[in-house]
Chains A and B, each alone.
Chain A
Amino acid sequence: MLVLKGVAASPGVSIGPAVLVPGESFAVARQYVEPGEVKAELQKIRNAMQKTLAELDECEQKVLSTLGAEYANLMATHKLILQDPALKDSVSKKIRTEHLSAQAAIFLTLQELAANFDKIEDPFFKERRNDIFDVGKRLVNNLEGGKREFLASINKPSLLVAHNLYPSDTINLQENQVIGFCTDVGGKTSHTALLAQSLNIPAVVGLSTASKDVQSGDTLIIDGENGLLVINPDKYTLANYRKIQRELKKTEALLKTINHLPVITEDGHAIKLLVNYDPHTDNKENKRLITDGLGLLRTEFLYMNTPTPPTEEEQYQMYLSVAKRFDMRPVTIRLADLGADKLPDFPLDEFDQDENPFMGCRGIRLFLKNPELMHTQLRAILRMACEVPAQVKIMIPMVSSVEEVRHVRAAYDQALKEIEAEGKKPVNRVALGAMIEVPAAAIALDGMIHLLDFISIGTNDLIQYLVAVDRVNQEVAHMYDPCHPAVGRTINQIIQTAHKRNKKVSICGEIASDSKMLPLLLGWGIDALSVTPRMYLRVKNNIRNLNFETCSDLAQAALLMGSSEEIRNLIEQNNKNEDS
């Protein structure tokens, strides 16, 4: 038995025989044809192009209905590559003048084109060589009779192991009895990973050596929950995973039935369950979710890769389209959390690259030094709130002191006054709240809570600052621990301080979708959670299966514990009791 650790790209567990995908570089021999055959070769190319175009058309439609416009655009790009004069001209020239076979002409053309892309430094443009080869592979496949021989040869449910998979491969997986896949390369947000998620096939990527360690026919377990690949598991592991698999299947079926049900514990305690929203990855599946609203709209992307800051009008239009997407439900927009790893390309006032950026000028600190940026964003949000009946909330990132809140309040009042002077008025009062992610703000929250309408705990950064651990640093990453007693006590303190003033508290970090932490968060009295669309129904289901009274007891007990280990044992013990 061998276990490899990679990146969990798409959830679920699959068990089955391995099928190893042959290396990605498809090589074609340099074959020549007789001068009399040139015409026939050219006709072959035309036929294959036509067939490939029809295939891509079909693919585009399929993608549009399952994954949304963003990915459909990818297929549209592939269609253009196929019809590109640079490809056509070079291929027909090679056949006409060099008498190369159709396959060889395509292959050599692709190699020449790819060589140009290899010279590019920008990683985005460099990556496009993959798209070119993807189209080329389809074309050659259709030239050879269009058997799609590799995937089509899979005749029983199998797990695919590849060095790398092209997006178009991924789209066709489902029809070809592929019940899971893993790759050596790729990250959580690679195209292939995102496609796998929307196809509901478990996937693990970034395994480095999987395609070398696995042989076709090996029994594999792909654990898309934990990012593991188990090669030839022993009896015990196999039995264990079969049990997990049965449970997951049950949950999966159940999840679809709870979409319209309220977010409420079995003993009647209700909380709000919101969704984190990214306009770039919205799709049909996400739109079907019935949610309590948008809990976190990040806005940094508006400021990235642009020579000038986004205008008020640009922002207004974007916020308006988001609010419309969420209909009448509440919408929470976070002021741009720029700085640290998100630096815009346009110049900023009083800004030097920090030595220690996560403790430097980021979030509201950066906005207060560039007040015109904040003013524009506040105005855009307030203007949007004049047009929609939804409840609109503004969230301030990286607050560490009451003075900062006071400054933002003043800027908010100023922007509102201007808009009212222009004859407009928000339909509902726009709430102003703070992200609590700096320990100082958590501890001294009582000094600023009167200026805030709501609190949102940004647990990813809060934990990082509390335990002084950079999650990206491999040396200390294991010390990033949501179960650390300091984390629970801080979250509890924030909630209690806010509740004394009748202010609501939500959480929008990864901890919100962590099933282990969920009973504790509920027990401490959290009012709302905001999670990714993918996790939404799972979290809802978990909440519906919890007992609030038990959660409260558990949460109180955890506050008295002095080590992560004790807290972890407490949670595990509770899970066991629930199971029996």
Chain B
Amino acid sequence: MIQQDIKIVNRLGLHARPAALLAQTAAKFSCEIELAKDGVKVNAKSIMGVMMLAAEFGSSLQLTTNGSDEKEAFETIQKLFTDKFNEEF
């Protein structure tokens, strides 16, 4: 199991498009992927779950991956966050 905090650095936070990208990416892995914020824990493969976190920029999330491809999943998702979901100019 890998668990670490990641910060949201893209301007609009986890709004519709980043949430979609995140859920789509997570769905490619077989391991369990969870995001937690303020005590709310959701399945990162669920776009509704991700949006429900209402994660605005600057906020912190706890990312947990657990399963056979947990390392690759963790790194891929972490990169999405640091790359600001490819949305900035």
Contact = CB atoms under 8 A, between A and B. Distances in A.
Contact of A128 (B12, B16, B45, B57): B16
B52 interface: yes
Contacts of A131: 16
Interface stretch (A116-124, A151-159, A335-343): A116-124
Contacts of A314: 88-89
Nearest to A322: B89
B57 A307 contact: yes
Interface stretch (B17-25, B62-70, B73-81): B17-25
Nearest to A317: B89
A64 interface: no
Residue in A122, A131, A304, A305 with the greatest tally of chain B CB atoms within 10 Å: A305
B10 to A, nearest CB: 8
Given A302-B89, A314-B88, A77 B16 contact: yes
Interface in A308-366: 310, 314-315, 317-318, 321, 345
Q: How large is the interface on A (under 10, 10 to 19, 20 to 34, 35 or more residues)?
A: 20 to 34
B43 A85 contact: yes
A131 B47 CA distance: 12
A352 to B, nearest CB: 21
A116 B20 CA distance: 18
Residue in B20, B43, B56 with the greatest tally of chain A CB atoms within 10 Å: B20
B11 interface: yes
Contact of B47 (A80, A116, A310, A318): A80
Nearest to A125: B54
Interface string A75-116: 011001100111100000000000000000000000001001
Interface in A286-320: 302, 304-307, 310, 314-315, 317-318
A122 B23 CA distance: 21
A305 B12 contact: yes
A113 B50 CA distance: 12
A305 B10 CA distance: 8
Contacts, number: 71
A86 B12 contact: no
A124 B48 contact: no
A275 interface: no
Contacts of A84: 23, 46-49
B15 interface: yes
A121 B89 CA distance: 28
A21 B52 CA distance: 29
Nearest to B52: A116
Interface in A27-71: none
B36 interface: no
Nearest to A308: B9
Contact of B16 (A73, A113, A121, A306): A73
A486 interface: no
B80 to A, nearest CB: 15
Contacts of A13: none
A87 B45 CA distance: 11
Residue in A86, A116, A131 with the greatest tally of chain B CB atoms within 10 Å: A86
B51 interface: yes
A80 B20 contact: yes
B23 A120 contact: no
A121 B52 CA distance: 11
Contact of A305 (B11, B47, B54): B11
A125 B51 contact: yes
B9 A86 contact: no
Given A304-B11, A315-B89, A120 B20 contact: no
Contacts of B43: 85-86
Nearest to A87: B48
Contacts of B11: 304-306
A579 to B, nearest CB: 48
Contacts of A74: 16
A132 interface: yes
A85 B45 contact: yes
Nearest to A320: B89
Given A80-B24, A128-B51, A307-B9, A318 B16 contact: no
Contacts of B13: 305
B58 A117 contact: no
Given A86-B49, A132-B48, A305-B12, A77 B54 contact: no
A314 B89 CA distance: 5
Contacts of A124: 15
B20 A76 contact: yes
A85 B17 contact: no
Nearest to A311: B88
Nearest to A113: B48
Contacts of A86: 43, 46, 48-49
B44 to A, nearest CB: 10
A575 B12 CA distance: 47
Interface of B: 9-13, 15-17, 19-20, 23-24, 43, 45-49, 51-52, 54, 56-58, 88-89
Interchain residue pairs A-B with the least CB separation, the first 6? A318-B89, A125-B54, A306-B11, A305-B11, A86-B46, A80-B47
26 contacts: A73-B20, A76-B20, A77-B19, A77-B20, A77-B47, A80-B20, A81-B48, A84-B46, A85-B43, A85-B45, A85-B46, A86-B46, A116-B52, A117-B52, A120-B52, A121-B54, A122-B56, A125-B52, A131-B16, A302-B89, A305-B12, A307-B58, A310-B88, A317-B89, A321-B89, A345-B57
Given A125-B52, A314-B88, 4 more contacts: A125-B54, A305-B12, A315-B89, A345-B57
